[in-house]
Structure 1
Amino acid sequence: MRRSWTARLSVLGRPLISTRWLVCHKRYTTMTASEAREAAKPGKLHGRAFYESIGSPKYIVAPMVDQSEFAWRMLTRSYMADSEQSKLLAYTPMLHARLFSQEEKYRRGHFQAVRPDASEPWLDGNASMDRPLFVQFCANDPDALLAAARHVAPYCDAVDLNLGCPQGIARKGHYGAFLQEDQDLIFRLINKLHRELSIPVTAKIRILETREKTLAYAQNVLKAGASILTVHGRRREQKGHLTGLADWETLKWLRDSLPPETVMFANGNILQEGDVEKCLEATGVDGVMSAEGNLSDPAIFAKPPPPGEEGREYWRGKDGKGGWRVDGMTRRYLDIIHRYALGEEPPQRRPLFMPGDDTAWLAADDAEGEGDEPARKRRKKDGPPRKEEANPNLSAMQPHLFHLLRHFVTRHTDVRDMLARGRKDGIDGYERVLEAVERRVAEGLLEYERTGGESFEAELRALEDSTPAAATESNGAGAGDETESQKADTVPEAESSRGTIRRCKRPWWVAQPIVRPLPSEALAKGAITLSKKNKAAVAAGASSRDLGSQKGGDDDGKEGAPHKAEAAAAAAATNTTTTHENGATAQQVETEAEAEGRKEELASRDELVAG
């Protein structure tokens, strides 16, 4: 094979590949696209032919660590009309290739295609209800990736390589977005599956610092044999307070720069159902992937019912805006858990409440609640705790419900506390959460009708009257000093998340997205601070390009000096220091508590990359 790169050894002995080939990507000619297609296994479809064979889906449930498991995929599919079912593609949660290939216990706990000690189809990849399905792996060893992929090949339509995870655990494990400097390894990972796996391979990447580098990256992935390319419109550094907006313009440019037969999905900025079509139109891609938007609203890909046909699960306000009710979503979700994860019929339930229905059950619950005794002390149970077989559908319930009920539990903190105990109490605890949710939603609907919608209009007015407030914490500044957040200009509307919040705002009983502050807002509030060098650059009115170049960054082709807040946010994205309450910097906190933080991160991912 002909290769054109320069290599050096790191202190750990791992070869690090420079990005020189990215600039002169035409020299990287290990395999042409046509050669890659011919190298595929006989009879295996590739590229657009494969995409069309699975129904040309344009709605995609993203791969999410411990969060896109079978039950959640089923919940998302349940909102799609029969005529739209073929347009929905789902990914499994990200799986660790080495662990999956070596440990049977890990496979049983994360992928349930067949029942234990049986061969008939069960949940994951069941052709009667869970297709099309792609299984995603993180990996840095081609042989381990192939071994893992062969385990799932009979039960899915394609295997996807994760090249987009930006978290610290991915840096430590050397996978996800932290492989993007090692383009040779990326090529070998994909090409190994393309040549030797019986089903197609796909990949999910993030954009790089420049469009040209991103294009070369995409071409390398496609030349290696990827049938479908998913591109997240954010860079690896865009996470946490620096998440910001995905770059649809770069995705559009990339789509136009690749061959027309390339199948490409876009990821980023999908908060509501209407954003899906906007992204398709703006980028020209074949499909749109949603991650966090889907967690907040599993019906994000479903068309809302016409006015007058809402039924009991969809709510529409007096202003015509609406959404799916969280009590109905929670009920659907628990019914799926009962039926599939637990293998039992769901409990008999009363119809979801609508104004005009009998309210005797609410009065009965009130009387029962007034007569309740104070909570009793918990008794210590005899014997060792019961150890149950790991079930990805059950372990994901609590985080799913916290996402789905995020706006609900902000108001009803008693339900939040019930949900916090849900994992320990099991399915019975989650059923009690559902009962409380249904009751609170009924009360909210009655209040809305009683006030003629004023109960929600008051919230909207309060939102309109609110203004971004500068943080008041001094972060260690002297009594006479002015903090960075106090010096920051008021964030302009164009650079604020307030407009998005107003657009997405619904009553708390309706599923709705979580809108994150933009980097400029985080900077104004003091959540992030600039280095001295970038403070001086912002004061001088430096452009995004100038600030980015201080850390070796490249501009995006736009000229002109941006507003100070925009420049500051750009600087923050390249060189930031998070300030904590005690005045310590993020680097200091990381040094002092690195081991503990890593343990928590591992636990939060269900020991996904343990060992």
Structure 2
Amino acid sequence: MEYKNKLVLAPMVRVGTLPLRLLAAEYGADITYGEEIIDHKIIKCERRINEVIGSTDIVEKGTGNIVFRTCHEERSRVIFQMGTSDAVRALTAAQIVCKDVAAVDINMGCPKSFSISGGMGAALLAKPELVHDILTTLKRNLDTPVTCKIRLLKSSQDTVELARRIEKTGVSALAVHGRRVADRPRDPAKWSEIADVVAALSIPVIANGDVFEYEDFQRIKVATGASSVMAARGALWNVSVFSPHGKVPWEDVKREYVRKSILWDNDVKSTKHTLKEMIMHYSCLELPEGKAVIKSETLADLAHLYGEEKYCKFVNENRWLCSGIR
């Protein structure tokens, strides 16, 4: 996979599932990261082909829970992001998914307590030897490209030092979120510190932070010199941020997301969570739409809410025929 001049959908927990990734790609995203999934969870899974909807599922043994769903259409652009704190476990998990994704990415930037308490995410920023161990183990044993995503350290010099160590492991690219662990989303991203990393490395650097409009992709690219640019919240609020033709109306984006969720039989809780996140930016969950999303119990309920009953019926009828039931 090339990492030059690419528009990238960032990894977002509970949001970056197949429907949003496919929608982002339709609007113009070249690379789409899945949500971070913990290695402990993956190693309890097995790979299954879902013939009815045409997906490849990583399913938890014994429960049938779908932990990760992908499809052939996104094979060349989807990046599987993993949370880990152990090289051997990371490899075991990566070997289950690597044949179905374009790259495996290690999360070294998540500041959430569940990640840090498990020695994952941003906790790895303070453990360069472990970082080296995880990345070199994956590189030596996988044919799939390996990448990672970090945050800024206390000083620009510290960030550059870690980035250089990461580069030496042979990873294909490095994504840098222009905030420190203690920074809040409202704090401006430090593009100049991403630029310091870019200047120090020869591998592609993906810049992340404060991309809310299509024009911001070029602005951060010029400011940092990065090879590619990643959008997170801007894409969550309106995933058509990737479109060079301008944003699609918010109502249309939500409807398209619901259609994709129906088509790929996305978990209803996951679909509701993403819709609520979309709604909260522009509106309020206390208004009728928000309340109706919260009350919805099935994808059919959401189809009804967004005027997609005919589409839902069409998909379900075709699925019934394809499953061989007569």
In the other structure, the counterpart of 2:103 is 158
Q: How far 1:327 moved relative to its partner?
A: 2.1
Q: What percentage of residue pairs aligned between the two structures are identical?
A: 24
In the other structure, the counterpart of 2:206 is 265
Aligned mate of 2:49, from 100, 114, 120: 114
Alignment of 1:407-486 (within 5 A): 407-410=281-284, 413-422=287-296, 425-435=297-307
* Matches of 2:76 and 2:250, distance apart in 1: 26
Q: How far 1:224 moved relative to its partner?
A: 1.7
* Matches of 1:399 and 1:125, distance apart in 2: 19
Q: Which protein has the larger Cα radius of gyration, Structure 1 or Structure 2?
A: 1
Q: How far 1:407 moved relative to its partner?
A: 4.8
Q: How far 1:133 moved relative to its partner?
A: 1.2
> In 2 relative to 1, CA 295–407 (structure 1 residues): closer, same or farther, beyond 3 Å?
closer
8 Å CA contact 1:74, 1:130 repeated in 2: no
8 Å CA contact 1:409, 1:415 repeated in 2: no
Q: How far 1:222 moved relative to its partner?
A: 1.0
* Matches of 2:285 and 2:126, distance apart in 1: 45
TM-score (norm. length: structure 1): 0.46
Aligned length: 296
Q: Which amino acid aligns with 1:93?
A: E
> In 2 relative to 1, CA 98–57 (structure 1 residues): closer, same or farther, beyond 3 Å?
farther
Q: Does 1:329 align with 2:253?
A: yes
8 Å CA contact 1:166, 1:239 repeated in 2: no
Alignment of 1:41-440 (within 5 A): 50-51=1-2, 56=4, 58-80=6-28, 88-101=30-43, 103-104=44-45, 114-115=49-50, 122=56, 124-239=69-184, 243-259=186-202, 262-304=203-245, 323-341=247-265, 393-410=267-284, 413-422=287-296, 425-435=297-307
8 Å CA contact 1:95, 1:137 repeated in 2: yes
* Matches of 1:275 and 1:413, distance apart in 2: 31
Higher relative contact order (CA 8 A, sep 6+): 2
Q: Secondary structure at the match of 2:31?
A: strand
Q: Which amino acid aligns with 1:97?
A: D
> In 2 relative to 1, CA 129–205 (structure 1 residues): closer, same or farther, beyond 3 Å?
closer
Q: Secondary structure at the match of 1:405?
A: helix
* Matches of 2:278 and 2:189, distance apart in 1: 23
Where does structure 1 differ by over 6 angstroms across 4 or more consecutive aligned residues? none
8 Å CA contact 1:61, 1:290 repeated in 2: yes
Q: Structure 2: which 5+ runs fail to align?
A: 58-68, 309-326
TM-score (norm. length: structure 2): 0.84
Q: Secondary structure at the match of 1:249?
A: helix
Q: How far 1:57 moved relative to its partner?
A: 5.2
* Matches of 2:147 and 2:101, distance apart in 1: 12
> In 2 relative to 1, CA 221–59 (structure 1 residues): closer, same or farther, beyond 3 Å?
same
Q: Which amino acid aligns with 2:129?
A: D
8 Å CA contact 1:263, 1:286 repeated in 2: yes
**Residue-by-residue CA offset, 1:85-106 (whole Å, 9 max, x unaligned):** xx610111101112211x12xx
Q: How far 1:63 moved relative to its partner?
A: 1.0
Q: Structure 1: which 5+ runs fail to align?
A: 1-49, 81-86, 306-322, 342-390, 437-611
* Matches of 1:265 and 1:287, distance apart in 2: 5
* Matches of 1:426 and 1:95, distance apart in 2: 24
* Matches of 2:167 and 2:11, distance apart in 1: 20
Q: How far 1:340 moved relative to its partner?
A: 2.1
8 Å CA contact 2:25, 2:31 repeated in 1: no
Taking only aligned residues, the RMSD between alpha carbons, in angstroms, comes to 2.3
